[in-house]
């Protein structure tokens, strides 16, 4: 059975952002991991720190905002959605 995609990777594919571009935005936000490490995080081969996940989420949400959308990628401190 296929593994569920990381929410970050789902968002990245949704907005069509190349991994290199995501890495660059993450790097500009203070992240220090390499592009290969970020690729591994997106594919579930590495676990990112909370700070790094939040940087990636910021980078993705900024793109969503540029496209006129909301900020759908959750941050580490966000409450999980409560079941209706």
Q: Give the footprint of another protein on this chain (CB under 8 A).
A: 18, 20-21, 23-24, 27-28, 30, 32, 34-36
Task: Name the minimum Å distance from CB 47 to another protein.
Answer: 20
For the chain, the distance separating the N- and C-terminal CA atoms, rounded to the nearest angstrom, is 28
- Least distance in Å: CB of 81 to another protein? 33
Say how far apart CA 69 and CA 59 lie, in whole Å: 14
Nearer to another protein, 62 or 71 (CB): 62
Q: Cβ 61 to another protein, closest distance in Å? A: 19
Compute CA distances 12 → 1, 7, 80, 82, 84, whole Å.
22, 9, 20, 24, 27
């Amino acid at each position: 059975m296929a593994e569920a995609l990381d929410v970050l990777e789902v968002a990245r594919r949704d907005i069509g952002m190349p991994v290199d571009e995501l890495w660059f935005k993450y790097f500009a936000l203070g992240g220090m991991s390499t592009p290969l490490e970020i690729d591994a995080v997106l594919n579930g081969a590495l676990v990112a720190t909370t700070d790094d996940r939040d940087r990636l989420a910021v980078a993705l949400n900024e793109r969503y905002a540029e496209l006129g959308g909301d900020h759908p990628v959750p941050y580490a401190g966000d409450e999980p959605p409560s079941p209706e």
